[in-house]
């Protein structure tokens, strides 16, 4: 398999890695960069556990090739807390007990973060549809949806 | 809206019953927590499994030479590398761990018995090479006729999976092999008399499909073997101590030579209670002398790990005009999958258990079919028996013009009643649960067009059993709390809350961990809704031992008898006889411990008993789209007796999560096989579990009727919500469209067909 030398910004750090043509961004993040916070629940784009933000858009890292991200900016769960402070979404997930096993949590947090940037004041239904690509088998989604709505409210309040 | 009802008044606890910070929370929202596949070990190899494309075939030969010759391949294993074991012999306990079967399930020996059955495994320096290598393994099969349906497989002329399996528990002992491993019975009263007393008798047949636990984290493990033979295993499991036992027996190794560490676990729901790839990873690491990581793909998880059983049921129930259930009779066939051992005892116990039916009889058959060997799924064996019973009770009540909740109240079991499998109930909360339903606004809320409301109640006798815990006091007054139960959904919080409550100190001073198998006494699985009950009890015991030692330390310091020292609110206090002795705090005592005799720690190893029944009732409103047959859940309220909710948020979470799994089970999830019995929906796209936009908020009402046998009154809460959820959803659909739906899942095509048949009948 051919190898490619790739440069990218990951969570604000310039990184360089070599990847095979068939390796996905998820393989690279987890296997090469050892950023194992991004999870693999299916590898086929069906669960959202691998959600990261690529050039400002939330994507499934298992559906993007490592070789495609040359020159890109990537944000993963590891970069979400800043300067020792949890992001409001992370804090609200804890406050609302919005995780049980927690395997879906990194993907859902990244999805929610990206979504709230496009829609800072969503309805419950909008949040449900925004998260429809992120499976959670533990919580029944109730507390996740509440946490996202509450975080959105707090983020709006701190904007003003 | 979530609420908690404590019929006997509230509590004065400081930490128990409060939502305390979750000890592993920050790690889980920052991506720091390490799950099965997150461990990277220097020099590790990657393992891959070759799986059977046939549902039933003889293995004629396996040629691994080409794979072994591939550059980068370090080892190949087949069944020849897994020790064989003789079949377990009767008398059989309720749950049989037969190593003859386990060795054949982890690696097919004479035959493959389901699509996806493991046939060989390789370890290579990269995943890519491992994937290429398994394609080079040549297996010659002789394809045999397959069988998927449990009732067909139970027929005398059915093709048999195991030539050496003879039905157990029937007289005379059969001389012909069968797919039926055993039949379990329960009976009381006089059935004929009971049915004769009834004003209405309904008899129906039902079926349900196998559904997968659907945990989002696929199985993953890393095995390392050192030159001295010691094995270290890191794995995503619901019970690392149980894994150690299974692996040591399966691989003929000393237990002390296998040290298992449980990773964080990304969901299990009963599915991660046995071994799959672990023994193969160990054998590959033994052969290569290198760490071997094995992670399943999602399709492997669906094809080769245990879903829950599919079932066929025949049930007959009689009711008087006043709602009294006079008699019940049920027969159920469970698909065990390729090997014996489905939870049929739970089926017998579940059918009539919420009710004081004087005359009843239940029989359950454990039947082998060409599907993956079943594993537990949240209340294993109970859900498929609850659904037919609750559906028929719903229908009887409707036909007799009775209120569905009043009917249940009329027949509700109470303290002193006995379940069909002989559990005598202590203080239980079914009546309180039903009263809470009646009082809830959801119960009488108006319904719209095409909407229906369903109600069902379920029973689960939660687990107790073997648990260990250790509490270690550190010099600065902080403490470590070690248990042997993987934390699937917040159990660390509950363990910590109970220990802090005992000590009377802030929860933040305690750090709970999950200890590996080398560090603590045996602890059974995190399963059966047993952890907060049994392991919680061990934690309380261990904490009390620490308190006793601290009292002794204070007595020594003060030079008074230990009986004169009590423990209260985080300090040792001398009795009123010693007015001038000032109390010593936990922190002060911790500081003097090492110089005054040694470190202070407590530990407890118990076989917890006294667990009790938990009842969970659900109200569900659905709306049916008459054009498409699509069902949407509009409102869902779960009522459950939790005994005492140690961490209410996480109890609610269990209720909500179980309810939504039940919605999936009732409406959508099923295994779809083609004519060759190859599984067709091996991914989340086609095995469609509920997503956020499919469901409403799930309201919860926690009822607290404490179990007097637990220091804090705990009852297991994880499983009961899934017992009654599918039944409640199915009843809602039935009430919406006005006919009994007897074949789960109630997917749109089935509902549409029912609506069309109805319309045709009306014309
Ligand atoms: S792992 Fe990428 S969507 Fe599931
Ligand atoms: S918390 Fe377990 S899958 Fe979401």
> Residue B503: what are its φ and ψ, rounded to 5°?
-75, -25
Give the pLDDT confidence score for residue A49 in this predicted structure. Answer: 98
Looking at the predicted structure, is the pLDDT value of residue B734 above 70? yes
Q: pLDDT value at position B7?
A: 60
CB of A11 within 8 Å of a chain B CB? The answer is no
Q: Rounded to an integer, what is the distance from CA B456 to the centroid of its chain?
A: 20
Taking 70 as the threshold, does the pLDDT of residue B211 lie above it? yes
Are A36 and B661 a contacting pair at CB < 8 A? no
For ligand 1, pick from A24, A27, A48, A58 the residue to mutate: most ligand atoms within 8 Å of CB. Answer: A48
Main-chain dihedrals φ then ψ at residue B197, nearest 5 degrees: -70, -25
What is the number of the ligand closest to the CA of B654? 2
CB B759 within 8 A of CB B746: no
Strands B325-337 and B359-368: parallel
Write the residue with the smallest CA distance to atom 4 of ligand 2: A136
User: In this predicted structure, what is the pLDDT of residue B659?
Assistant: 98
Determine whether the interchain pair A137/B269 forms a contact, defined as Cβ–Cβ distance below 8 Å: yes
Quick check: CB of A29 below 6 Å from ligand 1? no
Q: Which of residues 643-662 of B touch A (CB under 8 A)?
A: 649-650, 652-654, 656-661
Is B494 part of the contact surface with chain A (CB cutoff 8 Å)?
A: no
Contact A25, A6 (CB under 8 A): no
The tens digit of pLDDT for each residue in B467-513 reads: 999 999 999 999 999 999 999 988 999 999 999 999 999 999 999 99
In the predicted structure, residue B8 carries a pLDDT above the cut 70:
no
The fold of A88-159 is DNA polymerase; domain 1 (1.10.150)
Q: Tell me: pLDDT of B96 over 90.
A: no
Contact indicator for B363, B187 with CB cutoff of 8 Å: no
Measure B296 CA to nearest chain A CA, in Å: 10
Q: How far apart are CA A35 and CA A26, in angstroms?
A: 9
Residue indicated by tokens 């040290």: B259
Percent of chain B exceeding pLDDT 70 equals: 99
Q: DSSP assignment, residue B718? A: S
> In 3D, which of A55, A54, A60 has the Cα closest to residue A135?
A60
Of A76, A142, A83, residue with least CA distance to A111: A76
Q: What is the pLDDT along chain A (160 residues), one digit of tens a residue?
A: 789 999 999 999 999 999 999 999 999 999 999 999 999 999 999 999 999 999 999 999 999 999 999 999 999 999 999 999 999 999 999 999 999 999 999 999 999 999 999 999 999 999 999 999 999 999 999 999 999 999 999 999 998 7
Q: How many CA atoms lie within 13 A of B21 on its CB side?
A: 14
- Distance (Å) from the alpha carbon of A83 to chain B's nearest alpha carbon: 13
* Whole-number Cα distances in Å, B74 to A130, B42, B278, B288, B470: 45, 16, 18, 6, 41
How does DSSP classify residue B425?
P
Could you tell me which residue, B455 or B739, shows the higher pLDDT?
B455
Cβ–Cβ below 8 Å for B30 and A80: yes
Instruction: Find out whether B618 and B433 touch, Cβ atoms under 8 Å.
Output: no
Residues 6+ apart with CB under 8 A from B538: B467, B468, B469, B483, B604, B605, B606, B608
**Segment B240-249, tens digit of pLDDT:** 999 999 999 9
What pLDDT, on the 0 to 100 scale, is given for residue B170? Answer: 84
**Residue B733 confidence (pLDDT):** 97
Whole-number pLDDT of residue A32: 94
Rounded Cα–Cα distance for residues B663 and B633 (Å): 8
Measured at the CA of B219, the angle between CA A57 and CA B345, to 5 degrees, comes to 125
Tokens of B263: 């990773």
Contact B129, B302 (CB under 8 A): no
B180-206 mean pLDDT: 97
Q: In angstroms, rounded to a whole number, what is the distance separating the alpha carbons of residues B392 and B403?
A: 14
A50 touches B at CB < 8 Å:
no
- Confidence bin at B763 (pLDDT 50/70/90): low
Establish whether residue A12 lines the binding site of ligand 2, counting it when its CB lies within 6 angstroms of any ligand atom: no
Contacts of residue B3, defined as CB under 8 A and 6 or more positions apart, other chains included, come to: B700, B701, B702
Task: Reply yes or no on whether the pLDDT at B10 is more than 80.
Answer: no
Six token digits for residue A134: 């992120």
ipTM of this complex = 0.98
Q: How far is CA B508 from the centre of its chain?
A: 30
User: What is the reported pLDDT for B573?
Assistant: 98
Tell me the count of A-B CB pairs closer than 8 A.
181
φ, ψ (nearest 5 deg) of residue A74? -125, 135
Domains of chain B, earliest start first: 57-144+219-295 (3.30.365.10), 465-606 (3.30.365.10)
Q: Answer whether residue B166 shows pLDDT above 70.
A: yes
Q: What is the DSSP string of B148-171?
A: --HHHHTSTTSPPS-TT---BS-S
User: Nearest-CA distance from A23 to chain B in Å?
Assistant: 9
Find which of A21, A99, A101, A147 to mutate to test the B interface (most B CBs within 10 Å of its CB): A101
Closest CB from B37, B649, B653 relative to A40: B37
Q: How far is C-alpha B199 from the chain's CA centre?
A: 39
The reply to whether residue A47 touches residue B28, judged by beta carbons under 8 angstroms, is no
pLDDT in tens, B547-571: 999 999 999 999 999 999 999 999 9
Q: Are strands B584-585 and B200-208 parallel, antiparallel or unpaired?
A: unpaired
**CB neighbours of residue B369 within 10 Å:** 30
Residue B197 has pLDDT above 60, yes or no: yes
The Cα B380–Cα B308 span in angstroms is: 7
With an 8 Å Cβ cutoff, are B697 and A145 in contact?
Answer: yes
Q: Output the pLDDT for position B5.
A: 83
Q: For residues B735 and B621, is the Cβ–Cβ distance under 8 A?
A: no
DSSP code string of B270-323: TTTSS-SSHHHHHHHHHHHSS-EEEE--HHHHHHHS--PPPEEEEEEEEE-TTS
If you write DSSP's letter for every residue of B238-273 in order, what string do you get?
S-HHHHHHHHHHHTT--GGGEEEEEPB-S--TTTTS
Q: Give all strands of the β-sheet with B584-585 in edge-to-edge order.
A: B565-568, B571-574, B584-585
Position B9 scores a pLDDT of: 54
Cβ within 8 Å, pair B649-A39:
no
Does the pLDDT of residue B95 top 90, yes or no?
A: no
Contact B279, B78 (CB under 8 A): no
Exposed/middle/buried for residue A45 (C-beta within 10 Å: 0-12, 13-18, 19+): middle
CATH T-level fold of A3-79? Ubiquitin-like (UB roll) (3.10.20)
Q: How confident is the model at residue B11 (pLDDT cuts 50, 70, 90)?
A: confident
Query: A98 CB under 6 A from ligand 2?
Result: no
Query: Residue ranges per domain, chain A?
Result: 3-79, 88-159
Contact A129 B649 (CB under 8 A): no
Which pLDDT band, with edges at 50, 70 and 90, does B110 fall under?
A: very high
Say if residues A44 and A62 touch (Cβ distance below 8 Å): yes
Evaluate the omega torsion of the peptide bond into residue B237 and state whether it is cis, within 30 degrees of 0. Answer: no
DSSP letters for B329-395 = EEEEEEEEESSS---HHHHHHHTTTTB--SEEEEEEEEEE-SSPPP---SSTTTHHHHHHHHHHHHH
A113 in contact with chain B, both atoms CB, cutoff 8 A:
no
Ligand 1 neighbourhood includes A133 CB (under 6 angstroms): no
What digits encode the pLDDT tens for the residues B640-673? 999 999 999 999 999 999 999 999 999 999 999 9
Q: Which residue, B203, B333, B267, is CA-closest to B660?
A: B267
Q: Ligand 2 within 6 A of A137 CB?
A: yes
Q: Is residue B457 within 8 Å of B710, Cβ to Cβ?
A: no
Nearest to A36 among B38, B297, B657 (CB): B38
Query: What confidence score (pLDDT) does residue A106 get?
Result: 98
pLDDT tens by residue, B118-138: 999 999 999 999 999 999 999
A99 and chain B in contact, CB less than 8 A: yes
């Amino acid at each position: 398999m051919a190898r490619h030398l790739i440069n990218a910004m990951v969570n604000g750090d310039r990184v360089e890695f070599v990847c095979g043509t068939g390796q996905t961004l998820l393989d690279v993040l987890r296997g090469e960069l050892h950023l194992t916070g991004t999870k693999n629940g299916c590898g086929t784009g069906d669960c959202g556990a691998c959600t990261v933000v690529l050039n400002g858009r939330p994507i499934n890292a298992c559906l993007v090739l490592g070789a495609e991200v040359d020159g890109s900016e990537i944000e993963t769960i590891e970069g979400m807390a800043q300067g020792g402070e949890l992001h409001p979404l992370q804090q609200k997930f804890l406050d609302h007990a919005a995780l049980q096993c927690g395997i879906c949590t990194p993907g859902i947090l990244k999805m929610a973060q990206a979504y709230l940037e496009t829609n800072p004041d969503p309805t419950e239904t909008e949040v449900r549809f925004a998260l429809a690509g992120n499976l959670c088998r533990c919580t029944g989604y109730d507390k996740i949806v509440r946490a996202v709505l509450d975080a959105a409210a707090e983020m709006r309040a701190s904007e003003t | 809206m979530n609420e908690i009802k404590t019929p006997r008044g509230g509590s004065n606890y400081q930490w128990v019953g409060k939502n305390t910070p979750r000890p592993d929370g920050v790690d889980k929202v920052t991506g720091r927590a390490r799950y099965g596949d997150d461990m990277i070990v220097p020099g590790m190899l990657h393992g891959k499994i070759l799986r059977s494309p046939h549902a039933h075939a003889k293995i004629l030969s396996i040629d691994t030479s080409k794979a072994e010759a591939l550059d980068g391949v370090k080892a190949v294993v087949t069944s020849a590398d897994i020790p064989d074991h003789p079949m377990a012999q009767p008398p059989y306990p309720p749950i049989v761990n037969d190593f003859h079967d386990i060795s054949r399930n982890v690696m097919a020996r004479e035959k493959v018995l389901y699509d996806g059955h493991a046939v060989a495994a390789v370890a290579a320096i990269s995943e890519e090479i491992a994937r290429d290598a398994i394609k080079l393994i040549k297996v010659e099969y002789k394809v045999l006729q397959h069988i998927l349906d449990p009732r067909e497989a139970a027929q005398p002329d059915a093709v048999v999976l195991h030539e050496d399996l003879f039905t157990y528990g029937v007289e005379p002992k059969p001389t012909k092999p069968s797919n039926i491993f055993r039949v379990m019975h329960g009976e009381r009263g006089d059935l004929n008399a009971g049915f004769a007393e009834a004003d209405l008798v309904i008899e129906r047949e039902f079926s349900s499909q196998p559904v997968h636990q659907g945990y989002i984290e696929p199985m993953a493990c890393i095995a390392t073997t050192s030159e001295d033979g010691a094995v270290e295993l890191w794995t995503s499991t619901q019970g690392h101590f149980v894994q150690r036992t299974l692996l040591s027996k399966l691989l003929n190794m000393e237990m002390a030579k296998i040290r298992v560490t449980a990773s964080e676990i990304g969901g299990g729901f009963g599915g991660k209670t046995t071994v799959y790839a672990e023994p193969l990873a160990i054998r590959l690491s033994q052969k290569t002398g290198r760490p071997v990581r094995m992670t399943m793909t999602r399709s492997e998880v669906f094809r080769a790990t245990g879903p829950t059983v599919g079932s066929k049921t025949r049930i007959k129930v009689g009711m008087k005009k006043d709602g009294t259930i006079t008699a019940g009779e049920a027969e159920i066939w469970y698909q065990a999958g390729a090997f014996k051992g489905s939870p049929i005892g739970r089926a017998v116990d579940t059918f009539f258990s919420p009710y004081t039916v004087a005359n009843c009889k239940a029989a359950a058959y454990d039947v082998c079919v060409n599907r993956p060997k079943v594993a537990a799924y949240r209340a294993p064996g109970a859900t498929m028996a609850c659904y037919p019973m609750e559906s028929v009770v719903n229908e009887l009540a409707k036909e007799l013009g009775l209120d569905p909740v009043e009917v249940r109240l009329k027949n509700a079991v109470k303290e002193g009643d006995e379940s069909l499998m002989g559990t005598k109930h202590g203080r239980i909360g079914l009546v309180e649960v039903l009263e809470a339903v009646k009082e809830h606004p959801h119960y009488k809320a108006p319904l719209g067009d095409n909407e229906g409301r369903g109600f069902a109640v379920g029973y689960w006798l939660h687990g107790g059993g073997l648990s260990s815990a250790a509490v270690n006091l550190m010099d600065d007054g902080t403490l470590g709390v070690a248990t042997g139960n993987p934390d699937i959904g917040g159990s660390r919080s509950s363990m910590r809350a109970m220990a802090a409550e005992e000590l009377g100190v802030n929860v933040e001073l305690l750090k709970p961990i999950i200890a590996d198998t080398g560090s603590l006494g045996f602890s059974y699985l995190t399963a059966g809704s047993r952890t907060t009950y049994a392991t919680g009890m061990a934690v309380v015991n261990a904490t009390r031992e620490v308190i006793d030692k601290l009292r002794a330390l204070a007595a020594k310091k003060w030079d008074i008898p230990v009986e004169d020292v009590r423990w209260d609110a985080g300090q040792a206090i001398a009795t009123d006889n010693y007015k001038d002795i000032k109390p010593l705090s936990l922190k002060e005592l911790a500081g003097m411990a090492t110089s005054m005799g040694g470190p202070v720690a407590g530990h407890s190893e118990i076989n917890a008993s006294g667990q009790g029944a938990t009842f969970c009732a659900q109200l569900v409103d659905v709306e049916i789209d008459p054009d498409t047959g699509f069902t949407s859940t509009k409102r869902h309220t779960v009522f459950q007796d939790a005994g005492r909710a140690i961490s209410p948020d996480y109890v609610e979470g269990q209720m909500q999560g179980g309810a939504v799994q039940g919605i999936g089970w009732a409406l959508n999830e099923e295994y779809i096989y083609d004519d060759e019995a190859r599984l067709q929906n091996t991914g989340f796209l086609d095995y469609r579990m509920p997503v956020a936009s499919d469901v409403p908020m799930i309201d919860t009402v926690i009822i607290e009727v404490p179990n007097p046998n637990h220091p804090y009154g705990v009852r297991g809460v994880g499983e009961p919500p899934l017992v009654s959820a599918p039944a409640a959803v199915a009843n809602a659909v039935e009430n919406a469209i006005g006919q009994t739906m007897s074949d789960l899942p109630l997917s749109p095509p089935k509902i549409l067909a029912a609506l069309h048949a109805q319309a045709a009948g009306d014309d």
